[in-house]
Every structure is written in structure tokens, then in C-alpha cells.
Amino acid sequence: MGSNDNITDNDNDTCTNDYCISDEAYIDLIADYLTPRGWNLALIGIHATVFIGGIIGNSLVCAAVCRNYTMRSVTNYYIVNLAIADLMVIIICLPPTVLWDVTETWFLGNSFCKIIPYFQTVSVSVSILTLTFISIDRWYAICSPLKFKSTTQRARRNILITWIFSLIFDIPDLIVLQTAPAPHLRVKTIFYTQCTVSWSQQNERIFALIKFVLLYCGPLLFMTFTYCRIIRVLWKSRVPGHQVMRSTSLLAESTSVHENCASRLASRRKAAKMLIVVVLVFGLCYLPIYILIVLRQTIGLASNETNVTWSLMAHWLCYANSAINPVIYNFMSEKFRQEFRRSFRCSPKGSNDRRMHNYSPPYCSPLSRSQPYRNEPIELNFQTLQGTSEIIPLNMCLNRFR
């Protein structure tokens, strides 16, 4: 009996797993345990839906602005930049993150361990900074129209700033992220390999807090302030600049002035509503993932099916945000809705109609470089209409604010 006990103890000392089975059999058990099933399969399916829908929707946004000259406004330049960032999130980050969450294993090696999380943070940073610049642009253009001139050149410069800042801000991830095998396994296997940081837990908590403040809380609080000011102005009877327009010689008939002011005000309200919805959706979609990050950095989360499911849901909301923006544009912007519909017309006749539609009648289309408007003052040149000046005739700019 004593000898049998000694044999058992010796066998346990030489085992590489809790079941005292061969490494191959133990690895098969791990693979079977990590195979997605049930609710995880459903989550993978809705991730696939977001992947396809996000690529199609954001590509349509870029195509709509690129091919329709009248849609190349300052706000739409920012929207295209937002769509590009969303495409990055969906294409680069969605598939690896789903695989990582489902299998609890990083399969893509050390190089991609650095690159993919890095570009995920870059794309999120570009998105939130783009929304912030949109709010700044609309705030000044609506609340202080006579002191601020918004131009596409300024928009392109701001877009460049967002990318430079985002690429620099997350450089620490390129340095400290690396793959690490599971510490609780004595058997050699890729399963449970993690993409983790090489610096201390304290440094990681500090960096996570900085991300939370600079890429979520701070911008959202600032945009809440700006859009509250915008709402206050747009939903008042008098808007800055309207009194100037009423007294200027550019607007001859009082009836026409009233109608144009009302139309422009209604159009701006629609645009403001759309942008506010975009910001609200962003804040709600990214809130769960930041809560998850905070919990991981503070109390820690066990590796079990429940937490894996919550992680999948939190990441899905982030990716759903990247796919839902084109849906918001479709429902809340007439111009985007028309361009989206035209994208599915493949006949030559449809193509000709599309080209014709891109140019509105002379009284509301941008000025030609070669031929100025007739019966209009010389001040209303191409450069003025390219911006969002508040004192130009309203009937020339209605399309820019829809």
C-alpha cells in the first residue's frame, strides 16, 4: 500500500497537467474547451454582419462625397475622415479581436501584437478628434459667424493634425506590447498565449487612465458643451448674422429674406441633430469597453465564459458604432440618402442622371471657376462659397447644410 502511494506521488510530480494525461491529449482538451459554441457563435455572426455592413456603408460615404461636388463641404470632409477611421477599425481590428476574445488566445504573433492594438487606438483617436473638430467648426460657424471663416483648407489641416497626434500618441503600445505564453501551463502550446504589456501594471494603469481621459471623457464633455451652445442658438428666433443679412443690400425683398432664413435655419437644425446623434452613439457604444478596461486594471477579471461574452459584446458595440454612422447619415441627411440610392444604379442612363444631378441650377450651385454668377455682387466669389460664411445669400448655400 505504501509502495503504491509512493508511485502515485512520483507520477504526479512528473505530470505536466492536472489530469496526468499526455501533452497531446491535454492540448486536445484545451482546443475543445476553447472551440466557440452556443452564444459565442451567435456573437461571431453579428460581428460578421457588422463587418460586411460597415465596409459597405463607410465606402458609400466616401464615394458619395468624392463624386458629388456639391457635397464637398467642410463638415463632409470631416465625415469622410471619420468613415476612413471606421474602415480601419472594421478591417484591421475586428477579425483579430473577435478571434482573441473567443479563443482567449493571441494567434497572430509578436509583430501583429504590436501593430493591431496600435492601429485600433489610432483609429479610435482619429474618430473622437474628428468629432471634436466638427463640433468646434459648427460652434464657431453658428455661434460666431462674423468672427470665424470655415474653409476646406482649414478642415484638411485639422484632419492632418488628428492623424499626426493619433499616430504619435499611441507609440508606447508599439514598444511595450508583446506576446507571452500562459504562466499556468507547463505544456508547450500556443493556446492561452496573450498579447500583453512588458512594463509594470502601475504604468499600464496610468496609460489606460490617460487614454480614458483624452480619448473619451475629455472630448465628450467638450462636445457636450459645444452642442449645448449650438442648440441654444439654433432653437432661438434670432441667430447671429441674420440681422446683418436683413440689413444688407444683397437681399432685396423682405419676403425672400424671411423664407431663406427659415429654410437655412431648418437645414442647420437637421445637420445639428445628425451630428449630435453621431456623438451620442459614439459615447454610448464606447462606454462598455472603457468600463471593461477600468475593471481589468483595478479589480481584474477572471477568464470564464461570462467575461468572454461580456468582452465580445463590448467590442461588438465599438465595431457597431463604426458601422452605424452611415445608417445615421442615410436617415438624417437627404443628400447622403440620395447618393446612397444612386450607388446601386448601374445602368448607363443612371450614370448620366447622376452626373446631371451633381450640378444644381446656377442660383444654388457653387460658382464656376471660369464664369461668375450674373446679377450677383463681385464679393460672392468661389472662395467665399467654399467656406461657410454666414453673410452670403442664403439661397446659394442651402445644400451645404443638409
> Which letter does DSSP use for residue 365 in this model?
S
If asked whether residues 31 and 42 sit together in one domain, one would say: no
Q: Is there a single domain that holds both residue 2 and residue 102?
A: no
pTM for the model: 0.75
Give the CA-trace dihedral at 236, 237, 240, 246, to 10 degrees. Answer: 170
CA-nearest of 281, 319, 292, 302 to 97 is 319
User: Does 295 share its domain with 218?
Assistant: yes
- Shared domain check, 152 and 25: no
Q: In the structure grid, which three cell numbers stand for residue 66, read together? A: 468624392
Which whole-number Å values give the CA distances from 266 to 152, 225, 246, 269, 364, in the listed order? 23, 22, 18, 5, 17
> What pLDDT is recorded for position 164?
97
Nearest to 33 by CA among 108, 106, 105, 97: 105
d(CA 126, CA 165): 9
Same domain? 185 vs 77: yes
Distances (CA, A) of 190 to 181, 217, 222, 303, 387: 7, 37, 44, 17, 56
pLDDT in tens, 195-241: 999 999 899 999 999 999 999 999 999 999 999 989 888 887 455 44
Structural domains counted in the chain: 2
User: CA 161, 170, 289, 103 torsion: positive or negative?
Assistant: positive
254 and 206 in a common domain: yes
Say if residues 397 and 265 touch (Cβ distance below 8 Å).
no
pLDDT at 146: 77
The reply to whether 26 and 79 lie within a common domain is: no
Cα separation, 400 vs 224, whole angstroms: 24
For residues 30 and 141, state if they share a domain.
Answer: no
End-to-end CA distance of the chain: give it in Å, rounded.
88
Instruction: Tell me the per-residue pLDDT of 311-354, one tens digit each, with 9 for 90 and over.
Output: 888 989 999 999 999 999 988 888 898 888 888 775 444 444 44
Q: How far is CA 34 from CA 17, 31, 41, 94, 368, in A?
A: 17, 5, 12, 19, 62
Question: In a structure prediction context, what are the per-residue pLDDT tens digits for the chain, which is 402 residues long?
Answer: 444 444 444 455 578 888 888 889 999 999 998 888 888 888 889 999 999 999 999 999 999 999 888 888 999 999 999 999 999 999 999 999 999 988 889 999 999 999 999 999 999 999 999 999 999 998 988 888 777 778 889 999 999 999 999 999 999 999 999 999 988 888 889 999 999 999 998 999 999 999 999 999 999 999 999 999 898 888 874 554 444 444 444 444 455 555 666 777 777 888 888 999 999 999 999 999 998 888 888 887 776 777 878 888 898 999 999 999 999 998 888 889 888 888 877 544 444 444 434 443 333 333 333 343 333 333 333 333 333 333 333 333 333 333
Contact 392, 249 (CB under 8 A): no
- What lies within 8 Å, CB to CB, of 369 at 6+ separation is 382
Relative orientation angle of helices 305-332 and 334-342, to the nearest 10 degrees: 100
Indicate if 145 and 165 belong to the same structural domain: yes
Query: Is 262 found in the same domain as 141?
Result: yes
Taking each helix axis from N to C terminus, what angle separates 109-143 and 94-103, rounded to the nearest 10 degrees? 130
| Cα separation values, 374 from 3, 237, 361, 362, 378, Å | 109, 32, 13, 9, 9
**Are 15 and 156 found together in one domain?**
no
CA distance 392 to 3: 100
* Domain encompassing residue 110: 36-401
Q: Is 101 exposed, middle or buried (0-12, 13-18, 19+ CB in 10 A)?
A: buried
392, 384 Cβ separation under 8 angstroms: yes
- Angstrom distance (rounded) from CA 282 to CA 139: 19
What pLDDT shows up at residue 263? 73
Instruction: Count Cα neighbours of 54 within 13 Å in the Cβ-side half-sphere.
Output: 29
Question: At 104, which CATH number?
Answer: 1.20.1070.10
pLDDT at 254: 54
308: its cell numbers: 468572454
pLDDT score at 223: 94
pLDDT of residue 147: 77
What integer pLDDT is reported at residue 185 of this predicted model?
Answer: 86
Closest by CA position to 115, among listed 89, 82, 90, 92 = 92
Whether residues 218 and 230 share a domain: the answer is yes
